[in-house]
Amino acid sequence: MKKNVPLLGLCPIGKFVFSHEDACRQKRIIQSKLKEWRVRYVDLDRALPDGMVRDQAHVGPAVDFFRRRGIDAVFIPHCNFGTEGAVGKIGRRLGVPVLLWGPRDGAPLPDGTRLRDTLCGLFASSKVLRKLGVAFTYIENCAPDDAAFREGLERFLRAVNAARALREGIRIGHIGQRIDFFWTTIVNESELLERFRIQVQPIDMVLFIERVKRRTKKDRSKYRRQAARLKREVTVEGFSDDTPLANILAARDEMLECVEQHGLDALAVQDFPSLVDSLGTYAFFANSLVGDVCPVALESDIHGAVSLVLLQRAMGTPEPVFLADVTVRHPEDDNGVLLWHAGAPASLRRQGERIRLGRHWILPSPLAGMPHFALKDGPLTVARFDGDSGDYRLAAGEGRSMPGPFTLNNYVWMKVDDWPAWERVLIEGPFIHHVAMGYARCADALIEACRYVPGLKPVPLGGGRARE
């Protein structure tokens, strides 16, 4: 699983006109900000005089240096004006996401001259980038101490991290097959591989179940000890002995083994009926335990697994994510909706909430093992990667948790800015009821990431955040 932070190439741009001394001063200010914010970056100080591109002859050395260092994105701050031809060539030849920005210019000097014309240079460079077909992100012309600069840089890095998933490739482990009556989760594996480098690793359900049972038998005493300890922390109902609980724990370990063995970024699991019938329990709690380490999509939802990976990358933190159903509208608030399902990562439970394993309240079954616990409060981002007929889109929006009625399994009520507008966008597709959800504010980074993934269209949900 790739969780490393993107490496940024710092490529300061100057020009033979205006003050070179002031351009160098601006470069040093930018470097100090990147260090202060602990941005992982490399600069050109050992590759070019004064570490700055000032001529088209500098393009080759800059590109060669950044390629050797393996950068994931390039930041091109304009330090006094800008050598627009060099900007375009560097962006085109590197083929990585480009961030364009320049510090806001000061007032003219008393004699009427100016040290910099940064804004003017940014207009020139943006035109050349467009002319050469180079995708770029722009931060408004502002002072280095302005919040817009730091927020824009962090948003760009999150977008780069999400885009890398589909630029470099991810691996989804599919345990089992599609559930026969879930037509919504039909996907085109060949297209996912060819267009987005998404590899689906098949994991045979029969072999998976056999390995789980072997684990339970071989390590019976270990799982009994773990089950006894778990029962002190979790309310367990509906089991006559510890065998089903041991099977859940063994399924957890087998899932983690699959992740390690195949180098997976996420799992998609056929949760029923084979797994349930063979283990004598619903195994969603195994998803809860694995989900704190690796994203798990339920009901063989491959696109859902991709959504989880993209969201977690955009969050920029190791906090887990969950694939939830968009289920019912809030009974009293027109902008509220229920995010619900089972198998949420255990660490996402509401503070003070005790996990309960009980029966399935929807499917008629005598078996237990279904996890029940409410999810914590906080800001929320939801996302869905989906597509059909070759048309792929990424929907993303933000909300926050809100008070709502008690229900079963894992859930949180979410308030957004304009639920009817969200609903229409999701209904008209190509989306389904499953969405990745995480506790962060990063929808803008997901939308921005689409700039750097050819063939993926951004779909913003709503016009902003829900009012407090």
Q: Which domains does the chain have, with CATH numbers?
A: 8-145 (3.40.50.10940), 171-460 (3.20.14)
* Local confidence pLDDT in tens for the 468 residues of the chain: 455 789 999 999 987 777 888 889 999 999 999 999 999 999 999 999 999 999 999 999 999 999 999 999 999 999 988 889 999 999 999 999 999 999 998 888 888 877 778 899 999 999 999 999 999 999 999 999 999 999 999 999 999 999 999 999 999 999 999 988 889 999 999 999 999 999 999 999 999 999 999 999 999 999 999 999 999 999 999 999 999 999 999 999 999 999 999 999 999 999 988 999 999 999 999 999 999 999 999 999 999 999 999 999 999 888 999 999 999 999 999 999 999 999 999 999 999 999 999 998 887 788 999 999 999 999 999 999 999 999 999 999 999 999 999 999 999 999 999 999 999 999 998 999 999 999 999 999 999 999 999 999 999 998 754 434
Q: Which residues contact 240 (CB under 8 A, 6 or more apart)?
A: none
Find, among 414, 386, 416, the residue nearest to 324 by Cα. 414
Please give the model's pTM, rounded to 2 decimal places. 0.94
